[in-house]
Homo-oligomer: A and B are copies of this chain.
């Protein structure tokens, strides 16, 4: 292991031990100090970000938009950190499990997971939000962002550490590893017993590296191949509204849909409304033959969908449309092609909707609502470390509470086992 990684993991572990004694009041004080430090260093963060933007002239406009910071976005970061301080402290949560047969009192109490490494790509605000959620949950964090954002992440990391120092908390709770080699990332992934959890957020390339090298526990925030299914009993106008929103509201993010599944009985009525709306929004459509024919009748052009389209996260204004003969075909398609992220049904039939909500395996399943609601803020859960697409430990948006585990706490009066 590289000396740098070795040293920073040691420092994080020491900070984690010191943090055990912090109270909820200490953690909230730290969060407010971080928010103030981000505001106080706004100019330095903006200057670093301008250098990042300048150093990557070839970024797509979508990626450039994700990378670029503005005074308003920095204000948003500080606000997100303050919002975390308003949430209930997860380490205060204790559950009573009652009294065991021997008379011992049994409770569960939340504890931090430990040293967490987050490996992510473009957006620098992730650096601030993950730092805040880490402090709020008593963990220590190593943040490894994308190289495009390295100067921005360093500047935000300096602000976070300054805030921690200001609040007399251990600064090594947060380490930004902005410029790091592939070998250093692999060292983190292999640090059994020293890194307690890795959260990779990104596309296939990052995930294969993690599959290949991770020896420590992983919670993936994987890609989102998300679906809307328009059931036979759907209101076609509601179906068109939800599908349009799920595709065009913010096409570059993970909870937007890539594929729309339409029951054959609703094909004509839904596409008569949706087809022109998609065209107006500049969406490129890739459709199966039945859907393509209906679109053409409505004066909407579409490319023929290929098999590869069902497995592609377009992250742009492209939508694949497939006709299904029945409910089962829709669920089977999502089973085969979905990435356990988000799936919605539009239907007026409660029984069909409840069956969909039960049978579809995704971190968030919705009935008569846009997939764009799979987001900590929209669900009322606050900021998030990521959206877990694995069923281990957390499934869906991970807030501070999901960054903890429950240990068993027993209080007795001298009981021994008979």
A-side residues, CB < 8 A to B, are 17, 20-21, 97-102, 104, 106, 109, 111, 113-114, 192, 196-197, 211, 214-215, 217-219, 235, 238, 241-242, 244-246, 249, 335, 353, 357-359, 361-370, 372-374, 377-381, 390-397, 405-417
CA distance in complex: A249, B343 (Å): 52
Residue in B20, B21, B109, B114 whose beta carbon sits within 8 Å of that of A391 in the complex: B114
Q: Is the CB–CB distance between A415 and B218 below 8 Å?
A: no
- 4 A-B pairs closest in CB distance: A369-B412, A245-B416, A391-B405, A393-B393
Q: Is the CB–CB distance between A373 and B104 below 8 Å?
A: yes
Given contacts A368-B412, A390-B217, contact A380 B106 (CB under 8 A): yes
Given contacts A20-B358, A369-B415, contact A392 B393 (CB under 8 A): yes
- Give the residue name and chain of the B residue nearest to A106 (CB): B379
Residue in B369, B381, B392, B415 whose beta carbon sits within 8 Å of that of A197 in the complex: B392
Q: Is the CB–CB distance between A407 and B417 below 8 Å?
A: no
Residue in B97, B99, B364, B413 whose beta carbon sits within 8 Å of that of A408 in the complex: B364
Contacts of A249 in B (CB 8 A): 416-417
CA distance in complex: A106, B382 (Å): 13
Residue in B97, B218, B219, B335 whose beta carbon sits within 8 Å of that of A380 in the complex: B97
Q: Is the CB–CB distance between A413 and B379 below 8 Å?
A: no
Given contacts A101-B380, A392-B393, contact A365 B407 (CB under 8 A): yes
Q: Is the CB–CB distance between B192 and A211 below 8 Å?
A: yes
Q: How far is the CB of A391 from chain B (nearest CB, A)?
A: 4
CA distance in complex: A66, B171 (Å): 50
Contacts of A405 in B (CB 8 A): 391-395
Q: Is the CB–CB distance between A410 and B364 below 8 Å?
A: yes
CA distance in complex: A390, B113 (Å): 9
Q: Is the CB–CB distance between B379 and A97 below 8 Å?
A: yes
Q: Is the CB–CB distance between A100 and B373 below 8 Å?
A: yes
CA distance in complex: A114, B395 (Å): 13
Q: Is the CB–CB distance between A380 and B21 below 8 Å?
A: no
Q: How far is the CB of A223 from chain B (nearest CB, A)?
A: 14
Q: Is the CB–CB distance between A407 and B368 below 8 Å?
A: no
Contacts of A17 in B (CB 8 A): 335
Q: Is the CB–CB distance between A370 and B416 below 8 Å?
A: yes
4 more contacts with CB within 8 A, not counting A113-B392, A370-B417, are A102-B373, A367-B412, A369-B410, A370-B415
Q: Is the CB–CB distance between B215 and A217 below 8 Å?
A: no
Count chain B CB atoms within 10 A of each CB in A114, A197, A249, A412 and give the residue with the most.
Answer: A412
- Give the residue name and chain of the B residue nearest to A366 (CB): B410
Q: How far is the CB of A150 from chain B (nearest CB, A)?
A: 29
Contacts of A217 in B (CB 8 A): 217-218, 390, 392
CA distance in complex: A410, B346 (Å): 12
Contacts of A410 in B (CB 8 A): 364-367, 369, 373-374, 379
Chosen A-B contacts, 13 in total, with CB atoms closer than 8 Å, are A21-B359, A97-B379, A100-B378, A111-B361, A196-B392, A242-B416, A245-B417, A246-B416, A368-B411, A369-B412, A392-B392, A393-B393, A394-B405
Contacts of A192 in B (CB 8 A): 211
Contacts of A111 in B (CB 8 A): 361, 391, 395
- Give the residue name and chain of the B residue nearest to A215 (CB): B211
Residue in B113, B215, B359, B409 whose beta carbon sits within 8 Å of that of A20 in the complex: B359
CA distance in complex: A378, B412 (Å): 13
Q: How far is the CB of A359 from chain B (nearest CB, A)?
A: 5
